[in-house]
Every structure is written in C-alpha cells, then in structure tokens.
Chains A and B, each alone.
Chain A
Amino acid sequence: MAESILSLRKCTMRFGGLTAVSELDIEIESDGLIGLIGPNGAGKTTVFNMITGFYRPSEGDIQFDNRSVVGLKPFEISKRGIARTFQNIRLCPSLSVFESAQVAQAKIIDYGFFHAAGDLVRCRRQEKSVRRTILETLDIFHLTDEMDEPSTSLPYGDQRRLEIVRALATQPRLLLLDEPAAGMNPSEKVELMELIKSIRKRFNIAILMIEHDMRVIMGVCERICVLDYGVKIAEGTPEQIQRHPKVIEAYLGEQVE
C-alpha cells in the first residue's frame, strides 16, 4: 500500500451552535480513489471546504504530504498540490475554454509582472510549454475543438469536464471532485467513470470524490466513507458499504418492526 498523502485527524467544523462535521478521520493514499457519500446536508462539501482552506476547521488537523495545511489560504493549499472542482460549476464566463485551463497554470509559471508586461523571452519560452501542456490535457478530454469558445457556452457535461481539466492543469497530487456526475445523462456518466479511472493512472494522483450517484461511486471507488450528520458512520469497500446496516438506515430510515 502506498503511503498516505492526506490525513484528516479528528476534524471538527462548527458554525455557531451547529456542528457540521465532527471528529472526522480520513486517510487517503497517494494513489487512492476514495468516495465520500452521505445524505443531503451530511457535511460532505464542508469537508472539501476544510481541506481546501475555504473553512478553517474548529478543531483537529489536516496533514497533506505530512505537513499541516490548517490555516493556509486556499491559493496556498492549491500551490501545495490540492485541486478541486465545485458542486455548482464555477467557470469564468469571460474566459474561453483554453484560457480557463491557462488560468490554472498561472501558479506554475516562473515569471512575474514585468516579464509578462514586456513580453520578454523568459515569458515567451514558458508560454510555449504552458500551451503544450494545456493542449495535451484538452485533448484527453476531447475539448480541443471547442477551445476558443467561451467556457460557459459549452454543454453542461462538457463544462463539468472542463472543470476537471482546469483542476488538473494546476498539476495537483490530490484531486477533489464535488459531484462530478451531477446533471449528466446515463451515457455521460459511463464516460465519466472511465475518465476518472484513466485520470488517476495517467496523472498519477489521488482522488477524493463526493457523489450521489451510487452506480458511479460503486463503479469507480476502491473505498468509500459514509457521512451522516457530520459523523463518519461507515468506511469500507463498495461491497461492505452496500451491506452496512448503518448506511442503509441513514439512507432509507430505520426498519419498522
């Protein structure tokens, strides 16, 4: 088993009197593909927001690559190598498909304001390699033909894939996918499952995904964590989770005697 890349240790997130996530432990290996499921309002997206620095956990520690990321700003965490997509798509309407991916490379380039403003050789050389990387990534996701279109004019499924492209363009080692299959039709979902599996191999990264579609999550994840009211109620392989009594209870309610 590969070494752990991300570990949440007793993470608690409180909003006033409400405890959204309580004493959560999650461990992800550097090549893991973990699913995070739970009924609506279970605190799944809150977990993502804690990992990516949008929320600061009230208690507990988050270690990425054996260093704590608690208290860092979102952009600093992104620089450490965590990328995410959003549940409600957040693409920039004024950027084209190509430019959306280009933005994600802004933290990788090694030149500053004056190189860019003066169009100096150092900037030009790096722009070329940026362009190459983006084109390769767009090609994997079959978005090359639409690269000059405004990003928000794409069909819904393509916008979701573009969000993944953009996240991958930051060259992460851990990718967080927040409901990637939401709003997709069945054939798009099948495609997405293949895509997620191939991303992990090709980019050699760990993936943590939130998903409501059980076929998708059971189909791709090796291990699944189940949250209910902010508490982890089960963890295990898809088969174990499907038979887990607490999970059935959380989703379907208690059995009537």
Chain B
Amino acid sequence: MALWTDHRSQLYLAAALIVCVLLSLFEHQISPYYYTVIIYIGVNVILASSLNLINGFAGQFSLGHAGFMAIGAYTAAETTYLVGAQPGTVSGNILFLVALLIAGLVAAIFGVLVGIPSLRLKGDYLAIVTLGFGEIIRVIIQNLDFLGGARGFTGIPKITNFAWVFCLAAILIFMIANLVRSTYGKGFLAVADDEISAEAMGINSTYYKVVAFVTGAFFAGMAGGLYAHFVTYVNPSQFGFVKSIELVVMVIVGGMGNTVGVILAATLLTILPEALRPIAQYRMVIYSLMLVIIMITRPQGLFGRGIWMKKVWRRFTHAPRAAEQ
C-alpha cells in the first residue's frame, strides 16, 4: 500500500477532517451550553497549540498572544461585515474562509512587525515587550470607532460551527506534529535550548524565532476569527492580559513543547471553570489553587516533555525506533 506508507500523515489528517465534518452534523443534538463549551475548547486548543510553537518549541516567552487573537477577531469580523457573509449559505462559508485567512495574514504581518525587533530580546525582556504589544493592540482597538471602540463589535454573523473549529485545530496539530518531527523543525528545539550552539551548527536562530512567532500569530488570528463568529459580539476587554496569561498557563500546565499535553491542558482548563460552577463564588479560588498545586507538584507541566508518552505509544503500537524506519 504505497498510499498508506507514503502519505500516512496526510491520511490521518483527511480522516480527522472527515470525522469533524460528520460530527458537526449532530451539533444541534446536544444542549447549547455543552456545545458552547466544546467550541471554546476547540478555540483554546488552537490558541494554546499555536502559542506552544512559540513558547514551547522555539523557547521564546511571549505574553501577547491575545493581541494576535484580537487582531484576527476584528479583521475577520470587519471582513465578513464588509462582504456581507450570511450564515448557513455556501457563499457565506466560502467568504468566511477568506475572512479567516485574511485574519490570519493580518495577525501574521503584525507578528513580523513585532517579532523582528523584539526577538533580539530574551526571556523576561521579550515577555515584557510582547505583553506591551498585547495591551497596545487592545487600547488601539478600544479607540477605533469603526470597530465599535469600547462598546464592542456587534452583529457578527454566527458562521463558526464544530466543523470549522475542529478542522482548523486538526490542521494546526498536523502541521506542528510534522514540523517538530522533521529535520527542519529540530531547528526550533535547538534554538530554544542553546542559541550559540545552534548558530555554530548553521542554524539561523533569528529566522527560526521569527518563523515560530509568525506561524503562531497566524493561527492565533484565525482562532480569533472563529471566536468572533461564534460569540457574534467582541469587545476589546475579551482580549486583555488575562486571556494571554490563560493561554500561557495552558502551555505550562500541559508541558512546554508537548503537543498532546498542551491539547489536554487546554481542554482541561476550559472545562474546569465550567465544572466548578456549582460552587459559585469559590470557583476561581479553587481554579487558582489547583494551578498552584499543579505547579508545585509538577513544575515541568502535567505531561512534561512527554518522553514517557512516546514510550507508551511505542509499546502500544510496536512502532520501530527512529533508527529502523
């Protein structure tokens, strides 16, 4: 089976996309509340995984991911508003795809603009610059009247559904999994660990950092677009510092640079505040307390670098080691 051996990863992706579309047919069967939570999970998986590419794999601590999300959300909302995309129609969905791509591109352009000067900085300094960027974006949007200013952007068509969110999540995970497995992608890990030795081996560390940053920004922008077209109303305060922190927490709890871990953490941390609703006012106290406990007991994240995961997977599938493939 040449198709299976040569294009295994693409077949997995195709299968995942088909499953997402099929599941999407049943999306009205479940209660709207659960449905909303599921969509949020998908959006957060995209956001956290794209941030993981920057913070986890390339090792650049970014605190401004919500800024890219905001750019994407507003760009997509403005685009569908201008072209008058209608939900539930074929043309509406095509226009929505275009709007999402534009949203991703605009966010990516901002990624380049912010990335090239600020990626010369390291660690805390980079964190502060990206934090500043996120806040600047929020304040600028707050003062742009054609985007609704502080009142927010209303009347966005509700086009996002299960298929949209999870197909994009599948594509992103497909790309990240392939990237980090490839020789090309090992450059991200080398730059994260030790820029000097990476440079000595012929790796252009600036290039790799910018690529990670821009790719992360692109997907955060698309996730923002999906989010906007689900909640149908966005306002700048949704994309504040707290949102960025929430995403960083997902990456750290999942384990920096562990794709599966970050997906699980994004899911868990989206469900957790909802599951804790019965205890009302203690909800965020418990939530914060759990984060503290996780960080004390597992500073490397719940799932760490995921080496044990790979071992289990290998035993499970009897997959050959890298050598024998």
Query: Taking beta carbons and an 8 Å cutoff, which residues of A are in contact with B?
Result: 52, 54, 73-75, 78-79, 83-84, 86, 90-96, 98-99, 102-107, 109, 111-113, 115-119, 121, 123-124, 126-127, 130-131, 135, 144, 147-148, 150, 166-167, 169-170
Contacts and interface: CB of A to CB of B under 8 A. Distances in A.
Contacts of A118: 10, 175, 178
B9 A113 contact: no
Contacts of A127: 182-183
A127 B199 CA distance: 21
Nearest to A125: B6
A75 B202 contact: yes
Contacts of B321: 147-148
B322 interface: yes
Contacts, number: 130
Nearest to A147: B323
B183 A95 contact: no
Interface in B148-207: 174-176, 178-179, 182-187, 189-190, 192-194, 196-205
Given A90-B194, A94-B192, A117-B179, A131 B199 contact: no
Contact of A75 (B9, B204, B257): B204
Interface string B202-225: 111100000100010000000000
B187 A103 contact: yes
Contact of B198 (A84, A103, A116, A126): A103
A116 B193 contact: no
A238 to B, nearest CB: 29
Given A116-B185, A130-B183, 20 more contacts: A54-B199, A75-B199, A78-B201, A83-B200, A90-B200, A92-B194, A94-B189, A99-B186, A102-B183, A103-B189, A107-B203, A113-B179, A113-B211, A116-B182, A116-B183, A117-B178, A144-B323, A147-B322, A147-B323, A170-B202
Contacts of A99: 186, 189
B317 interface: no
Contacts of B202: 75, 78-79, 104, 106-107, 170
Nearest to B195: A74
Contact of B187 (A84, A106, A144, A150): A106
Given A90-B196, A98-B323, A119-B10, A83 B201 contact: yes
A105 B201 CA distance: 8
Contacts of B196: 54, 74, 86, 90
A111 B183 CA distance: 10
A65 to B, nearest CB: 16
B305 interface: yes
B194 A116 contact: no
20 contacts: A54-B200, A73-B199, A74-B196, A75-B203, A78-B199, A90-B197, A92-B189, A92-B194, A92-B197, A94-B257, A96-B322, A98-B322, A103-B186, A103-B203, A106-B183, A116-B179, A117-B179, A119-B9, A123-B184, A170-B202
B31 interface: no
Contacts of B186: 95, 99, 102-103, 106
A167 B197 CA distance: 10
B250 to A, nearest CB: 20
B325 interface: yes
Nearest to A93: B193
Which residue, of B179, B204, B321, B325, has the highest number of chain A Cβ atoms within 10 A?
B204
Contacts of B325: 131
B315 to A, nearest CB: 13
Contacts of B182: 116, 119, 123, 127
A98 B324 CA distance: 12
B259 to A, nearest CB: 13
B299 to A, nearest CB: 15
A108 to B, nearest CB: 8
The 4 A-B residue pairs whose C-beta atoms are closest, nearest first, are: A107-B202, A78-B202, A92-B193, A90-B197
A121 B6 contact: yes
Contact of A119 (B178, B189, B200, B203): B178
Which residue, of A52, A91, A102, A166, has the highest number of chain B Cβ atoms within 10 A?
A102
